[in-house]
């Protein structure tokens, strides 16, 4: 009896290969053939699941977002909006090998998105969803004296900047988390 193929699993296998290549080589020169070699499959299999590199990249970008959300939701149940926001932002910061890989991929996606509208749209949608969640938590906490939308943008900018500094080893993980916690204390009170 033929084995049933899990198409989502295959697509994730290929997206993981793309992300490993993106983290080490950037995205501009990565081909479907290279992704196939990295994943240990045929080029035909890659083309079966993704017609273009952009289609594969869009899927990979969504997969990273899904993984960040899943990790954030899997952490201990927070009791406050501040803890919810902190938990999510910590999952974005490159504090371990998995998140460092995602951080390198994120930087590669940002560079690629500068010239690819389809990729740019996916990044924008993910960023808007995170900002909306953070702003919602700020409103729920009654964070006085701050505009929730602008504070959410500021927190995202802080995390993006800290992420780049961590990836280039300018700060330690401990210092980055302390900087985030300081900003959260200022915003949430």
- State the pLDDT at residue 67: 84
CA distance 150 to 45: 45
Structure tokens at 142: 């009654």
Cβ partners under 8 Å of residue 60, min gap 6: 15, 18, 19, 22, 105
Residues 29 and 111 sit within 8 Å (Cβ to Cβ): no
Q: Render pLDDT for 19-56 as a digit per residue (tens, 0 to 9).
A: 888 878 777 778 889 999 999 999 999 999 998 888 88
With H, G, I as helix, E, B as strand and everything else as coil, classify residue 137. Answer: helix
Domain boundaries defined on the chain: 53-188
Query: Is the pLDDT at 3 greater than 70, yes or no?
Result: no
183: pLDDT strictly greater than 80: yes
Q: Is the pTM of this model over 0.75?
A: yes
Return the HEC string of 40-65: CCCHHHHHHHCCCHHHHHHHHHHHHH
- pLDDT at position 161 is 95
53-188 carries CATH number 1.10.357.10: yes
Confidence band of 1 (pLDDT split at 50, 70, 90): low
50-107, pLDDT tens digit by residue? 988 888 888 888 888 788 888 877 765 767 899 999 999 999 999 998 888 888 888 8
């Amino acid at each position: 009896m033929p084995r049933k193929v899990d198409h989502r699993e295959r697509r994730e296998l290929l997206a993981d290969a793309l992300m490993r290549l993106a983290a080490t080589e950037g995205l501009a020169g990565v081909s479907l053939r290279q992704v196939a070699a990295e994943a240990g499959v045929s080029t035909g299999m890659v083309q079966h699941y993704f017609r273009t590199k952009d289609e594969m990249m869009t899927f990979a970008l969504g997969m990273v977002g899904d993984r960040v959300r899943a990790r954030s939701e899997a952490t201990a149940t927070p009791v406050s909006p501040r803890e919810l926001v902190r938990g999510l932002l910590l999952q974005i910061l490159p504090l371990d090998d998995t998140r460092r890989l995602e951080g390198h991929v994120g930087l590669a996606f940002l560079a690629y998105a500068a010239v690819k509208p389809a990729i740019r749209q996916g990044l924008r949608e993910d960023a808007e969803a995170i900002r909306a969640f953070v702003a919602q938590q700020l409103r729920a906490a009654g964070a006085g004296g701050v505009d929730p939308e602008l504070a959410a943008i500021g927190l995202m900018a802080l995390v993006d900047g800290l992420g780049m500094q961590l990836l280039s080893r300018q700060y330690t993980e401990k210092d980055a988390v302390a900087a985030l916690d300081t900003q959260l204390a200022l915003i949430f009170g």
